[in-house]
Structure 1
């Protein structure tokens, strides 16, 4: 989402409203399975069925019935309309990504300054940094946004490189909270969220109130897009080639992780990737081993945004970005090796809902990874400082920042109380 921040946000606010209305008109099948009150076809068919027919017409019941084909043969004869399914999935994906973008940007507008204050104040030790990173990522709904904020603060010498490491670890825990929310199956309340967001956006008098409306609308669009994807992918539930491919990704977790990493780099959000996986798994399209493999790849793919954010930020910021990459890459490698054990542990601690199992697997995986590494942060920091040493450009940047701070302090001296 980092690359989308330069778009005109005011235009995007109004575009979100247009997207909702257009999708409801053009693509109503995305919501009718989940929200039956939006579908009128069943009522019309019932009325037409009760209409008396002329005497000359032969009723359907008097006609000889043709033998019904088994479901497998019927599916083979009808086939799958890949174009219709693809258009539905693309429509849902666009709405989902747009909803996630608006949600993240709205939360960032509301709480960015507060998050900066939180990050600078409550990162005095490693555990506090982990907790702060988890809270900030949960609030901002994006680990990339949190880490990009941290990189900017490290570059500006507001945070030290060592302080940033705990926040990076905590952001991995915070990003798993989103998957937990998705797995709660609260799509029944999505229309209420979207309606509330529209009302707050149109009736709000201040930019802050309007931003809250965009946050609610983005949250609703996110779930709406997920339901549209799930509805469009329904024909794949009995499509053997797709099921075999998903099963092969579970048997080969390296390939599954590669798919997850590439998809995450494309859509620029690991939370979005995991949310889609959780939704499809809840519908029976993805098994637990496949979901875990793709989730592990998403953890690696999310590092692309943060590495881009380190360009031109100095050595300390680059160390933070590299730590994020090395930690996610190393933990994903361990997760791939221990994927069967992680699957069994998740099944033992979770219910029968595969979507919930994947969400719990991500949470347990990230918590275990943080616990395993947090005690070695000082050693890791020294190793990264040797790997990426300070340069002359870094020292010049620090000197300019000190001179700027000194100039600001001299330009705004504290006024002493005047004596009469």
Structure 2
């Protein structure tokens, strides 16, 4: 039984990760160069930058893709580090939209989206309907991959060993560690949060453990953006480090106030299903983190500017 569960889970996860990349590429094809134009146009101040990062991440369904694209734009001097700060913070909010959609339990209808998308892709003559077909097919594959993961873990309800392991994740530090490790391996916080939601849908994880692993996913997702900043300009490196700093501080605050945060999620969610409560926790954590961090942004910006100076500034100082 264990072998079939693992194989099904790997299959569903692989399909989910492929669908995420496929959907991101498809949406980039629809938006084209306009995405870069809007990023540059609507990031005049911190709040417009946060709004832009939220909207674009919602569209692309990948905070990592948006932040990596932002780092590339900062390197090419199309964006400044100050503009990038708002986009990074907004990307953390935008990525929570997908968890809300996933918690709707739309996996059973994924075949409809895949069928409509495939027909548009194959039969449409014009570019726009074909691109819409790609987007629908991508969403359908995401939901189907999630559905496969949900069904694959269902037999684990009868496993005392698995139940004992999941209870251990109620320790916030252990949960954060596991969430960070899984995200580091699969390079997708969305996939990690989706797996937590899938476990919640089958009542295989508690809200406490789910929130702890979710916090770990937010830490693990910093790895790919840090890698993307290696060898880039000083401004681009500061963007990658700001993402890490923002997430680490938010996670530390959440761990300090872990029990009150869990109670807040439960109070807001009411009698909602467990998967919905986990999705709500994802939204609350990122939104509260952005709101609390806004007053600290000028200090963080000055600190990073001091620590990572431009080469010209160093010569002048010498």
In structure 1, what is the equivalent of residue 92 of structure 2?
Answer: 172
Q: Give matches, 1:292-307, under 5 Å.
A: 292-307=211-226
Q: Give matches, 1:335-346, under 5 Å.
A: 335-346=254-265
2:310 aligns to what SS in structure 1? coil
In structure 2, what is the equivalent of residue 376 of structure 1?
Answer: 296
The CA distance in 1 between the partners of 2:28 and 2:64, in whole Å, is 12
CA positional deviation for 1:208: 4.9
Kept in 2: contact 1:311–1:318 (CA 8 A) = yes
Q: Give matches, 1:26-41, under 5 Å.
A: none
The CA distance in 1 between the partners of 2:28 and 2:228, in whole Å, is 16
Deviation sequence 1:263-288 (CA, Å, 0-9, x none):
11222111111112112102101110
Q: Taking structure 1 as reference, are residues 379 and 393 closer, same or farther at Cα in structure 2, changes over 3 Å only? A: closer
CA positional deviation for 1:191: 1.2
1:352 aligns to what SS in structure 2? coil
In structure 1, what is the equivalent of residue 81 of structure 2?
Answer: 161
Higher helix share: 2
Structure 2 residues not aligned, in runs of 5+: none
In structure 2, what is the equivalent of residue 127 of structure 1?
Answer: 47
Deviation sequence 1:325-346 (CA, Å, 0-9, x none):
0111111122122221111111
In structure 1, what is the equivalent of residue 10 of structure 2?
Answer: 90
Deviation sequence 1:208-249 (CA, Å, 0-9, x none):
543332221121111111111111111111211111111110
The CA distance in 2 between the partners of 1:394 and 1:169, in whole Å, is 29
In structure 1, what is the equivalent of residue 60 of structure 2?
Answer: 140
The CA distance in 2 between the partners of 1:178 and 1:168, in whole Å, is 17
The CA distance in 1 between the partners of 2:240 and 2:139, in whole Å, is 28
2:165 aligns to what SS in structure 1? helix
Deviation sequence 1:155-178 (CA, Å, 0-9, x none):
111111111111111110000111
Deviation sequence 1:293-331 (CA, Å, 0-9, x none):
110011011111111111222100000000000111111
2:112 is the alignment partner of 1:192: yes
Q: What's the RMSD between the two structures over aligned residues?
A: 1.7
Deviation sequence 1:35-66 (CA, Å, 0-9, x none):
xxxxxxxxxxxxxxxxxxxxxxxxxxxxxxxx
The CA distance in 2 between the partners of 1:211 and 1:269, in whole Å, is 24
TM-score (norm 2): 0.94
The CA distance in 1 between the partners of 2:187 and 2:24, in whole Å, is 12
Kept in 1: contact 2:150–2:201 (CA 8 A) = no
Return the match for 2:252 from 333, 348, 353.
333
Kept in 1: contact 2:211–2:281 (CA 8 A) = yes
Q: Taking structure 1 as reference, are residues 377 and 101 closer, same or farther at Cα in structure 2, changes over 3 Å only? A: same
2:184 is the alignment partner of 1:265: yes
The CA distance in 2 between the partners of 1:283 and 1:112, in whole Å, is 39
2:54 aligns to what SS in structure 1? helix
2:35 is the alignment partner of 1:115: yes
2:43 aligns to what SS in structure 1? coil
Count of matched residue pairs: 314
Kept in 2: contact 1:162–1:378 (CA 8 A) = no
In structure 1, what is the equivalent of residue 203 of structure 2?
Answer: 284
Return the match for 2:158 from 231, 238, 241.
238
Comparing 284-293 and 371-380, the one that deviates more = 371-380
In structure 2, what is the equivalent of residue 152 of structure 1?
Answer: 72
Q: Taking structure 1 as reference, are residues 316 and 258 closer, same or farther at Cα in structure 2, changes over 3 Å only? A: same
Kept in 1: contact 2:107–2:146 (CA 8 A) = no
Kept in 1: contact 2:28–2:60 (CA 8 A) = yes
Kept in 1: contact 2:13–2:191 (CA 8 A) = no
CA positional deviation for 1:108: 2.0
Return the match for 1:357 from 273, 277, 295.
277
TM-score (norm 1): 0.72
The CA distance in 2 between the partners of 1:243 and 1:198, in whole Å, is 40
